[in-house]
Amino acid sequence: MTTATATATTAAVGTLRTGHIGLNVTDLDRSLAFYRDALDFALLGEGKEEGRRFAFLGRDGELVLTLWQQAEGSYLPTAAGLHHLAFTAGGIEEVRAYEERLRGLGVAFAHEGVVAHAEGAASGGIFFHDPDGTRLEISVPTGAEGAPAPTESAPTCGFF
């Protein structure tokens, strides 16, 4: 490897960030309604062909989530792959507003109300599931001071 090659390779390291998340779903219409109505994602585009359906969801024109109708069963928390999908809110008030909206839609929560990520942590949020059982989190880095931590010895987002 030449010095020029090493420099170019080194310069590129550290630029990665999450682009978008793709989720397999069992019913595109149901999942699309959930992510649009419950979490305010806008439909950026979709494809509906025989045996192939998908939807691109985002915010402010930026792709955040792709739903692929190709799952034959619900999310399996014991299978390798996605553990949970976490969204960061602008503040604890926004987390509570989503909690209220989700409750109004009949969404079941893994824990009651806002919980801390760990005992004594300032970070925390709400934990729930999408229509296929995929584990979801909406949290903030501060604002959950004093909220209970459901698990003493592990992060709350690790086991729900």
Span 66-113, pLDDT tens digits: 999 999 999 998 898 999 999 999 999 999 999 999 999 999 999 999
Torsions phi, psi for 69 (to 5 deg): -80, 90
Question: What does the alpha-carbon distance between residue 21 and residue 59 come to, in Å, rounded to a whole number?
Answer: 13
Residue 25, classed as helix, strand or coil, is strand
Q: For 155, how many CA atoms within 13 A lie in the half-sphere containing its CB?
A: 10
Alpha-helix runs per DSSP H in 15-149: 28-37, 92-104
Q: Is the pLDDT of residue 4 over 70?
A: no
Question: What does the alpha-carbon distance between residue 4 and residue 134 come to, in Å, rounded to a whole number?
Answer: 45
Question: What does the alpha-carbon distance between residue 158 and residue 66 come to, in Å, rounded to a whole number?
Answer: 24
Residue type, 39: L
pLDDT-based confidence at 16, cuts 50/70/90?
Answer: confident
